Structure 1
């Protein structure tokens, strides 16, 4: 395909490394026979090899100023949406919650899962299993600490469990760990004999630091045997990685590690379809940012894998699995792996992109990576052009392969800006500048791409001067929220992919950052209530949950709202859909939140915290949002609508730390809430407390680190 540069130079590069070195870290993959040099080809001299490495080094140091790709901040063959979310997936009648996902049949990792009896969760840098068979007698039956800080003579390994998958039928648990291995290099003192005279400008030597620093680059008075290397600050060369650890949970109370696989880069996102696991990581390769070509090695330049990061046995991906993107920053790399979680010995299938990283969306058949590209024309007083480059990969069981590339103007906010439906890919973007007074005014757009990822339909120019806050695709419709001073909810008809059109628009105060289907004709919005003053000054006054009636696409209506807390209130569900615990059958709309008191006379004034815990909403008989109940682990502030109360320093640490509820699940008629300190159980009918169990490690202030940290905050 035209967008892929499968450079034969990569094959020659790795072949030459294999020939010119007896061995390298972890060994090198064998190039394909068809790509190996033949007798009819000219011999490759050392100068040619050095020149190739020089190109790689220069490309990393000086990416084109006119086309750079950056990480997009904020990863269903027919694109059906999962309106049940955490309640259940289609076709099952399981009486327990599941992770709130975007696409039906495409599971997403989370920090808590349940099989209907046991809770599998991540807490305090541990994998923990809690037996919830008796809600009044919760029991921790298993814990495994992921050591966050392991120090060796020359390396430091830092690991944090990120998320997990649970496959009950396959009796497998997948733990995804984000790690970093840091190599420490101490400048060794130089022995100088009395009869020797040190030259004024010593000849360059092989560097011992992470960037090829020469040993002689240190104060002269520190040379000699008397120098103590313990007083020297070491150089660090860090390598981030994502580790996949698969456990057999045939006995849930004694999970057995049966497989471990590690790939380069920090954890970005993952998906699971049946027993096929897909993991995306992003690597920024500082090693080649300002490196000399002769210092580069394939396992340093290109994405690699290993079985033990601390052993430093990395193996570069095979050349045919490495794709270089035109004009990309080669140090910005994406790695995609696919493996069957039931095949304990099968090697994972891998693909990589050099020059790009971005947001991840996946259907049952394809995985998409959307990367932000900024292009400058170089002309004076010109504005940059923003584009989203879309890279598609075909998912076929435990195999993954490239399947096309597309491009649309603008940038996206998150994975919900993308969707696949009946062979078409839909994406909502914002173009232009978002700051006030810019002549390059922001506009919002929706594009429809065909199976070849060519644009075949579009709606452009929505809500000039504002930006997209949330998007939700539901079959042949798209719902887009934009905001600057009011919240326009657009309803876009996509029934004809080649002629999409806006059907309706609703302007209301506030805005929604996450939209969730409640039923076929009802849509939930989670966001903020706002106050708008002169010159379009906007204040987020507190949380707002809205219920929209979308039975008439031409006239959407906000039929109910509920306001929670005051200025400074926050809920993770606004930016992480996995925080929503939803079941229409159980009339359950629940999410953790931190609330501050609202001052009716001066709503812009920040007040003290008034509540932290799980809020449980539902619909009344007349379809009005109501607060059904709440569960807190910080008993001093137990009323979501209660007054503010001053807290001591210790109480503040508990309120924002180990007593803060950050997830929930349900089994049968029991609601289970999770904080760093404990799991609590309550009845779903009335939310009466039933039981609780303390979690291991919650009182470990440092969480295994050698420095005094409290949940990421340094303390005395």
Structure 2
């Protein structure tokens, strides 16, 4: 009977036992510490009782400070000497340990003085094999492909919002003054260069009433242009390209394909006869690209097929690059150009490539590969920041809840930040850290006077059991936290943010739009100065001088629900003019509502869609106009562009360039993507056509169709 009870008890324990997974990087830097995260909470006294301890390479116990963070799931070791270590974990360290089992009881890691490049294939394979073991033990397939795998693309004083400086033509609405961002349309004041489906069209606009296509740049079938830059007389075309992977031995009928980010450099001294200078590229999807002082930088992210390591012949897991100047196809990066970023557990690479365009034909393309994902990119003239989501391990309880509800529940995530120095075309890693919560986009971060600032949302607005909250963090030049404002707007999430020197502005939303004004002039003690609650929310904030902001977003209203809580209904597009002269009392000075429910602009998710003319105080953007009193029924009315005059005094409609239609659906081919000016003319650019207007009267001048 006793034996039977033991057997039954053993079976019950096996069924009831929850697996506890651990996530921890294999690399740390001596001055930045090391941490490990668990899928279940640890006992508060787990460290004190010796249920968590560290040994060195000889197996000797290491007297190291260990701290259990507030979430009770993460331990941090602030300081360790250079060397190889193991974290030992007893099951009694975990709360409810009697009913829980550890997937790993030992975690190996190394502490380095500075970031070290790899030496050989064995070091790289060891990294991926450790990830596969941890992934298998966790019972979460793809656990380590999450970090940095979200496809995002953006999106000196970072408050500038440059868009039309002293030149007599438009420039891109960039986040940082002097740092150009790639876009689908560029102009040099005489010609407009625009991505049009699978080609780039160069249009002569010197006579707006008689525009003409100067040249169409066609590409091979597998190349799709995405972004453009102009640097002196060099046109840069970045695009995605599909290519067969190089294979050794016999040629197979099927060869694995990979995505490359390809760069074509053209001499456009004579735009009607551009010549291809050079083509090069790296494996992976484009994270972001920047151009400053003639130096081009771009970052790609790629997840290798590391499961080939389970095959007898293994396979190549290094990222590839190519350069027509070398006269060869795809080649794997040398090991000495690859490093493991500290604090990362990603099964993906971030690849940083740079070239000086002063002599594009002969200058070297410099490429560095880093194990560690990247989603967002922020860059100044001499610093580059990459960020990636750091997903917390999921507990068995959370997995069971997800299965029971037959829905996918998003994971809680923090944000890893990696900082690099830029010196000409040389890129050097400087520091890394992790902050609580997730970034919204590139405007969620900023650097000023040597300090890095970021705003994040922790948790989810819909989770009533653990409401979301929002934070602002300030980090020093080594990415050590020196100040913060935390737990703002519980139950809401960030919809937009903007840093303007010693002030930060943040919009959160759930039912109303709180605009927070935060003083960050003293990095060690930032504080909220003022808050404004209004209907609607802003997706994008644009500076207007020192004391005003323009918000572009949506109008909203609360609609009653029988026997339930009122629901938020999105109305038309909303422009808000905020007066922040009195920081403690921000005011919504003027508003403009465009259309009804369903109306939207690409500006609401792509800041580069904003047209500005500083001298004339003009602001414009593409609009798709819908009518409808609620979101249940909307009707498409037309599309085009709207131009406004916006000054500190108010918002005035200047030109309505919307074209009505009898069609019930939008026409992608003629939908306005960008608006720009050259001299005394305004141009709207669509995938298949350009229209010109007089910049004074906004009277229509001409239409040029590409096809």
Normalising by structure 2, we get a TM-score of 0.76
1:505 equivalent to 2:577? Answer no
More moved, 240-249 vs 311-320: 311-320
Is structure 2 residue 476 aligned with structure 1 residue 450? Answer: yes
Matched, 1:281 2:300: yes
Question: Following TM superposition, by how much is the alpha carbon of 1:345 offset from its aligned partner in structure 2, in angstroms?
Answer: 1.9
- Relative to structure 1, is the Cα distance of residues 8 and 246 closer, same or farther in structure 2, using a 3 angstrom cutoff? farther
In structure 2, the CA distance between the partners of 1:402 and 1:184, relative to structure 1 (3 Å rule), is closer
Q: Please give the alpha-carbon distance, in whole angstroms, between the structure 1 residues aligned to 2:479 and 2:531.
A: 28
Are 2:282 and 1:263 aligned? yes
Alignment root-mean-square deviation, CA:
3.0
Q: Which residue of 1 aligns with 2:107?
A: none
2:456 counterpart of 1:392: no
1: CA distance between counterparts of 2:615 and 2:83?
58
How far did residue 327 of structure 1 move? 7.3
CA distance in 2, matches of 1:454, 1:446: 14
What's 1:161 paired with?
Answer: 225
Following superposition, the deviation at residue 390 of structure 1 comes to 0.4
Change (3 A) 1:50 1:629: closer
How many Å separate the matches in 2 of 1:646 and 1:337? 45
Alignment CA distance shift 1:457-1:267 (3 Å): same
Counterpart residue number, 1:218: none
- 1:136 and 1:572 map into 2 onto residues whose CA distance is 28
* Alignment of 1:357 onto 2:387: no
Q: How does 1:577-592 map to 2 (within 5 A)?
A: 577-592=607-622
Gaps of 5+ in 1: 10-33, 38-48, 150-157, 186-205, 210-233, 638-644, 697-716
Judge conservation of contact 1:8–1:35 (CA < 8 Å) in 2. no
1:219 maps to none
Moved more, 125-134 or 382-391: 382-391
User: Which residue of the partner structure matches residue 178 of structure 1?
Assistant: 240
- Residues 53, 400 of structure 1: CA spacing in aligned structure 2 closer, same or farther, 3 A cutoff? closer
Answer yes or no: is the 8 Å Cα contact 1:74–1:413 preserved in 2: no
Whole-angstrom distance in 1 between the partners of 2:311 and 2:178: 46
The structure-2 alpha-carbon separation of the partners of 1:694 and 1:501, relative to structure 1 and needing over 3 Å to count, comes to same
SS at match of 2:128: helix
Report the Cα distance in structure 2 between the residues aligned to 1:174 and 1:301, rounded to whole angstroms: 29
Deviation of 1:334 (Å): 1.1
1:685 to 2:704 alignment: no
73, 82, 100: which one aligns with 2:173: 100
Question: Is residue 257 of structure 2 the alignment partner of residue 238 of structure 1?
Answer: yes
Indicate yes or no: 2:428 matched with 1:401.
Answer: yes
Which of 42, 56, 66 matches 2:128? 56
SS of equivalent residue, structure 1 residue 133: coil
Partners of 1:561 and 1:50 in 2: how far apart?
61
Relative to 1, partners in 2 of residues 1:536 and 1:423: Cα closer, same or farther, differing over 3 Å? farther
Q: Select between 575-584 and 374-383 the one with higher mean Cα deviation.
A: 374-383
**Secondary structure of 1:687's match?**
coil
Does the 8 Å CA contact 1:61/1:290 hold for their aligned counterparts?
no
Judge conservation of contact 2:475–2:482 (CA < 8 Å) in 1.
yes
**Where do 1:202-241 residues align within 5 Å?**
235=254, 237-241=256-260
Partners of 2:450 and 2:258 in 1: how far apart?
A: 39
Separation of aligned partners in 1, 2:575 and 2:585: 20
Pairing 1:440–2:466 present = yes
Q: Deviations over 1:444-490 (max 9, x none)?
A: 00000001100000000000011000000001000000000000000
Distance 2:292 2:118 in 1: 34
How far apart in 2 are the matches of 1:208 and 1:57?
Answer: 28
Aligned to 2:163: 86
Name the structure 2 match of 1:137: 210
8 Å Cα contact 1:269/1:279 also seen in 2? yes
Instruction: State the Cα deviation string for residues 86-139 of structure 1 (Å, max 9, x = none).
Output: 122xxxx21110000000011111111111111111113111111111110001
CA-to-partner distance for each residue in 1:196-219, whole Å, 9 max, x for gaps?
xxxxxxxxxx9987xxxxxxxxxx
* Mapped contact 1:56–1:293 kept (Cα < 8 A): no
Quote the offset at 1:174 in angstroms. 0.7
Counterpart of 2:452?
Answer: 425
TM-score normalised over the length of structure 1:
0.75
Q: 1:256, 1:51 → 2: CA distance?
A: 43
Q: Relative to 1, partners in 2 of residues 1:409 and 1:436: Cα closer, same or farther, differing over 3 Å?
A: closer
How far does residue 544 in structure 1 lie from its aligned partner after superposition? 0.5
State whether residues 493 and 509 of structure 2, in contact with CA within 8 Å, keep that contact through their aligned partners in structure 1: yes
Report the CA distance between 1:692 and its aligned residue: 1.9
Change in 2 beyond 3 A, CA 1:207/1:331:
farther
Q: Any stretches of 5+ residues in structure 2 without a counterpart?
A: 1-28, 35-81, 85-116, 400-409
- Equivalent-residue separation in structure 2 for 1:575 and 1:162 (angstroms): 17
Q: Report SS of the residue matched to 1:136.
A: helix
1:559 aligns with 2:576: no
CA distance in 2, matches of 1:668, 1:61: 62
| CA distance in 1: counterparts of 2:608 and 2:597, whole angstroms | 24
Of 90, 114, 118, the residue aligned with 2:187 is: 114
Contact kept, 8 Å, 2:492 with 2:509, in 1: the verdict is yes
Matches within 5 A, 1:280-679: 280-285=299-304, 287-289=305-307, 291-297=309-315, 300-307=316-323, 313-325=329-341, 328=344, 331-343=347-359, 344-376=361-393, 378=395, 380=397, 386-437=413-464, 439-534=465-560, 535-599=565-629, 603-619=630-646, 623-632=649-658, 635-637=659-661, 645-647=662-664, 652=665, 655-679=666-690
* Distance in structure 2 (CA, Å) of the matches to 1:35 and 1:426: 32
Name the SS for the 1:295 alignment partner: coil
User: Using a 3 Å threshold, how does the CA distance of structure 1 residues 58 and 182 change in structure 2: closer, same or farther?
Assistant: farther
Aligned length: 574
Quote the offset at 1:35 in angstroms.
8.8
SS of aligned partner of 2:131: helix
Distance 1:114 1:540 in 2: 36
Instruction: Tell me, in whole angstroms, the C-alpha distance in 1 between the residues paired with 2:640 and 2:124.
Output: 57
Counterpart of 1:94 in 2: which secondary structure? coil
Contact kept? 1:289, 1:331, Cα under 8 Å: no
**Conservation of the 8 A alpha-carbon contact between 1:492 and 1:504:** yes
Task: Return the structure number with greater relative CO, CA threshold 8 A, min gap 6.
Answer: 1
The separation in 2 between residues aligned to 1:361 and 1:646, in whole angstroms, is 41
